Amino acid sequence: MWHEQFTNKHNQTQYRFYEKYKDPYTDKWKRVSVVLNKNGKQSQKEAQRLLNERIERS
């Protein structure tokens, strides 16, 4: 998992967390992301949980 800091259209700082995984059906690499407002340890754990849920759904 990695993250990037960006400024949204309301001029607020947010963080986009990414995860890369290999799709077992197509054998291609895919990327999922979630956006959170903070970048602390608790936010990073929440981001990892959300990313894992998105990977399971796809």
The pLDDT tens digits of the residues spanning 1-13 come to: 999 999 999 999 9
Structure confidence by residue, pLDDT tens digits, 12-51 = 999 999 999 999 999 999 999 999 999 999 999 999 999 9
What is the value of pTM for the model shown? Answer: 0.91
Residue 31 makes CB contacts below 8 A (sequence gap 6+) with: 18, 19, 20, 21
> What pLDDT score does 58 carry?
82
Q: Are the beta carbons of 10 and 35 closer than 8 angstroms? A: no
The three state secondary structure string of the chain is CEEEEEECCCCCEEEEEEEEEECCCCCCEEEEEEEECCCCHHHHHHHHHHHHHHHHHC
Domain ranges of the chain: 2-57
Residue 46: the pLDDT is 98
Residues in the chain: 58
The pLDDT score that the predictor gives to residue 18 is 98
